[in-house]
Amino acid sequence: MYQYHTLSNGIRIVFRRTESPVIYSGVYINIGSRDEKPLEYGVAHFIEHSIFKGTEHRRAYHILNRIDGVGGELNAFTTKEETCVYATSLAEHLERCLELFSDVLFHSVFPEKELVKEKEVIVEEINSYQDAPSDLIFDEFEEFVYGEHPLAHNILGTKKNLRRFTPQFVRDFMQRNYTTDRMAISVVGRVDFDRLVRLCERYFGEYPRCESGATRSEKPVPQRFEKILNRHTHQMHLLMGCPAPNIYDECKVPFTLLNNIIGGPAMNSRLNVAIRERYGFCYTIESQFNPFSDAGLFYVYAGIEPEAFARVKDLIHKELNHFAEQKLTAQQLRSAQRQLIGQMSISNDMGLNEMQSIGKACLNYGHVDTIEEMSQDVMNVTAEDLQLVAQQFLTEKEFSLLCYK
Residue range 140-165, pLDDT digits in tens: 999 999 999 999 999 999 999 999 99
Please tell me the distance from the alpha carbon of residue 213 to that of residue 89, in angstroms, as a whole number: 35
What pLDDT shows up at residue 215?
72
307 has pLDDT over 80: yes
Closest to 180 measured CA to CA, from 14, 359, 26, 9: 9
User: For all residues of the chain together, what is the average pLDDT?
Assistant: 95
- The confidence band for 212, taking pLDDT boundaries of 50, 70 and 90, is confident
What pLDDT shows up at residue 214?
66
The model's pLDDT over 82-91, given as tens digits with 9 standing for 90+, comes to: 999 999 999 9
The pTM assigned to this predicted structure is 0.93
Phi/psi for 394 (5° steps) reads -100, 30
374 has pLDDT over 80: yes
Mean of pLDDT values over 343-370: 94
Catalytic residues: 48
1 has pLDDT over 90: no
Mean of pLDDT values over 307-328: 95
234 has pLDDT over 90: no
Helix H or strand E encompassing 135: helix 133-146
DSSP 66-113: HHHTTT-EEEEEE-SS-EEEEEEEEGGGHHHHHHHHHHHHHSB---HH
Please tell me the distance from the alpha carbon of residue 196 to that of residue 205, in angstroms, as a whole number: 12
What pLDDT shows up at residue 85?
98
Buried b / exposed e over 230-248, threshold 16 CB at 10 Å, is eeebebbbbbbbbbbbebe
217 has pLDDT over 80: no
Please tell me the distance from the alpha carbon of residue 172 to that of residue 124, in angstroms, as a whole number: 26
Closest to 216 measured CA to CA, from 31, 45, 364, 27: 31
Please tell me the distance from the alpha carbon of residue 94 to that of residue 296, in angstroms, as a whole number: 36
Please tell me the distance from the alpha carbon of residue 155 to that of residue 377, in angstroms, as a whole number: 32
Mean of pLDDT values over 51-60: 95
Name all domains of the chain by residue range, CATH numbers in brackets. 3-204 (3.30.830.10), 226-404 (3.30.830.10)
Give Cβ neighbours of residue 250 (< 8 Å, ≥ 6 apart). none
- The confidence band for 13, taking pLDDT boundaries of 50, 70 and 90, is very high
